[in-house]
Amino acid sequence: MSENLSVLGNARAGYKPKLPPALRNGTLKVLINSGAATESVRDQDKIKALFPNTYGAPLLTFEAAEDKQTAGGPLNVGVVLSGGQAPGGHNVIAGIFDGIKSVIGGSKLYGFLGGPGGLVDGKYIEIDHALMNRYRNTGGFDIIQSGRTKLESTEQFDKCIEVVKKMDLNAIVIIGGDDSNTNAAVLAEYFAAKKVPCSVIGCPKTIDGDLKNEYIETSFGFDTAVKTYSELIGNIARDANSAQKYWHFIKLMGRSASHIGLEAALQTHPNVCIISEEVKEQNLTLAQVVHSITKVVISRSEAGKNFGIALIPEGLIEFIPEFGTLISELNEALAHHEAKIKGLGDVAAMTNAACEHISPASATLLKSLPLDIQLQLMLDRDPHGNVQVSLIETEKLLIEMVTKELKNQSFKGKFAAQNHFFGYEGRCAAPSNFDADYCYSLGYAASVLVLHKKTGYMSSVRNLTAGVENWTAGGVPTTMMMNIERRHGADKPVIQKALVELKGKPFKYFAKHREEWARGEEYLYPGPIQYFGPSEVCDVTNFTLLLEHDALK
Ligand code: FBP
């Protein structure tokens, strides 16, 4: 028993993640089937011009073979954990580790420290059996840490080439979200153009759930993170229903898309859940969003219920069209005048300076907000140029505005609200069985792509609601998922973000039930993730996947 592991941690260390049948004979005995040439989702000509060496590669599907399909040879592979933590990252590394070690003795796995920055600076450690075994089935990215350095300059790419040559690397696996996988594709293209024989493979990570499409059914970490938040929301709902005196406004992480909020709503049945994509579709103003919440507060109060649960997606602000415009205008303004605006220090002065570079409507909106929200909107962007929405206290802003509207409407009931923000609480949770198996399979599939010298691919494991027995594995060309978007004041090739589809089954299910959930106390209390016990409790995945696959029983 390891002293550094809890009782559960020790028991969990022995869990053997399950692999799809195609990978069960080991990495050498995998037959690779190639499909036809592929195209990017949009902007084909522009993407093709930017990726002349890697564009158009075929989709790959794996099949178990009885005989060795390649001679194999000792491999040197480097792995990078990029961006926000997501449960299961250590199991992706374990999958790569076991995948390459099963090839031929002498293969080595190196972990670059602190994210993409570690790759550029050549800072790494070798991951050996003892180190790997301490991290199997654990949450977190602490085995080698993560970082948000954006790999984008030629200087960085040239430094990567020096590192690759010095370490004699056959491949780099980048475990990250849409931005990091875009960077992986750009790096793969650069290596190919410079004839550097080093593959670059990506793995789809993010609790936000917005890196998905026909070939990537879900990003890893979403399942565990939402189950963790839903446990907490269920506990709060029970508390609210017991004391019957508070409204709880709970903001949930997910920088852009509302997948986390929607899934948490499906798991817990709150009285209110705002879906940013719907707000945008209906062109709602902040005042209209506030009004929709106030209506529920009043009607519950009239029924004698001065309590409730409201879920707020972290990215809401950016989806309110007037705010979306304000934020993109501020992005442009900061991209060109950051030093001048930020140098002023005082919030009011910063706002005045920023207002010189944005439209009159946006300036009026910015000035109408509380000072702390004005400041939060002008704070640092992350290295990808995104506003740091997790720092904007939307839940408090909404409570303040609902209180104001209730006052204006001469509300006779009681409205006492508590605010919460769940994000970091779930990002490093021990992976659910689903994420433990999915991540290990993604890593193992990545090692097959590496072994076959494929580059510019993302590892893909599919058919995820049919049980691991029926999971399939393969590789998807990253350029296939790309389009051109405006980022940080410039047009960039990026992987298309998957937002909540209002015509999709998860949203429709929610929309069908939300009125009864608003009126009553239909709360579900999912409880903690179960790691041991009956399969129907431990191996169940999430409602989003089940509904998307028509697999909800
Ligand atoms: P990734 O897209 O890198 O997976 O990160 C997602 C996320 O957890 C968002 O939900 C959140 O807005 C953001 O990271 C927070 O970033 P940070 O960890 O830098 O505070």
Mean pLDDT of the chain: 94
Residue 263 contacts residue 500 (beta carbons within 8 Å): no
For 81, the enclosing helix (H) or strand (E) is: strand 76-81
Query: What tens digit of pLDDT does each residue of 68-79 get?
Result: 988 777 999 999
Number of other residues whose CB lies within 10 A of the CB of residue 474: 26
Q: How many helices (H) and strands (E) does the chain have?
A: 22, 15
Q: How far apart are CA 350 and CA 53, in angstroms?
A: 45
Question: How far is ligand 1, taken at its centre, from the CA of residue 302, in Å?
Answer: 39
Q: What is the pLDDT of residue 383?
A: 65
pLDDT value at residue 328: 86
- Please identify which residue in the block is written with the tokens 């999709």: 504
Picking from 97, 145, 111, 143, the residue whose alpha carbon sits closest to that of residue 440 is 97
At 200 the pLDDT is: 98
| Ligand 1 atom nearest residue 260's Cα | 10
Nearest CA to ligand 1 atom 14: 84
Selection from 484, 155, 486 nearest residue 335 by Cα = 486
pTM more than 0.75: yes
Residue type, 413: G
Q: What is the pLDDT of residues 360-407, one digit of tens each?
A: 999 999 998 888 888 888 876 776 666 777 788 999 999 999 999 999
Distances (CA, A) of 112 to 81, 157, 170, 191, 239: 8, 15, 15, 18, 44
Q: What is the rounded radius of gyration, in angstroms, for the C-alpha atoms of the chain?
A: 24
Residue 155 neighbours by CB distance under 10 Å: 9
The residue nearest atom 7 of ligand 1, judged by CA position, is 84
Maximum CA extent, the chain: 78
CA 490 – ligand 1 centroid, Å: 22
Do residues 268 and 523 make contact, with C-beta atoms less than 8 angstroms apart?
Answer: yes
Cα separation, 169 vs 76, in Å, equals 5
Q: What is the pLDDT of residue 318?
A: 87
**Tens-digit pLDDT profile for residues 197-238:** 999 999 999 999 999 998 999 999 999 999 999 999 999 999
All residues at 6 or more sequence positions from 26 whose CB lies less than 8 Å from its CB, including other chains: 102
Which residues in the chain land under pLDDT 50? none
pLDDT, position 390:
72
The number of the ligand 1 atom at minimal distance from the alpha carbon of 221 is 4
Residue list, ligand 1 pocket, CB within 6 Å = 83-84, 86, 177, 206-208, 253-255, 314, 389-390, 427
SS (H, E, C) 480-542: HHEEEEEECCEEEEEECCCCCCCCCHHHHHHHHHHHHHHHCCCCCCCCCCCCCCCHHHHCCCC
Question: What is the number of the ligand 1 atom nearest to the C-alpha of 253?
Answer: 10
Tokens at 382, concatenated: 């992350």
DSSP E strands: which ranges in 381-489? 417-422, 457-462, 472-477, 482-487
Nearest CA to ligand 1 atom 6: 84
Show the beta-strand stretches assigned E in 134-263.
Answer: 171-176, 199-204, 247-252
Q: What is the DSSP letter of 478?
A: G
